[in-house]
Amino acid sequence: MPSLPFAAGLNGSGDYVIAFSTAPQVRIRTEDKASPRHIEMLPNDAMSPLFLAVIEATEEAVYNSLLRPTTITGRGHTVEALPLVSALLVQLVGA
């Protein structure tokens, strides 16, 4: 499903974005606080495509969770996937 044209945060739009990275090169360890670091950063004009990619990936994850659910098991409990027909009926009926 394509993204809606108004559902994009653009660099300079005034939207707030919080990002987290697990990349080893940007981790700040307690023992390294005093040492200088050199990291690569995206130029400011490259942020809009990055924001759009994150929005589209999130949208895709939501669609997948609704339309391609899987049964999950964890900590001794199992939750059955909601059948697609039931999910569509809820959407159509609005219940």
Per-residue model confidence (pLDDT) at position 65: 81
pLDDT in the model for residue 77: 95
Residue-wise pLDDT for 10-67, tens only, equals 666 666 667 777 888 777 777 766 677 777 777 878 888 888 888 888 889 888 887 8
User: What pLDDT was estimated at residue 3?
Assistant: 47
State the pLDDT at residue 50.
80
The H or E element that residue 72 is part of is: strand 72-74
Q: How confident is residue 75, by pLDDT bands cut at 50, 70 and 90?
A: very high
Q: What is the pTM of this model?
A: 0.51
Count of CB atoms situated within 10 Å of the CB of 51: 17
For residue 91, CA distances in Å to 57, 76, 95 come to: 22, 31, 7
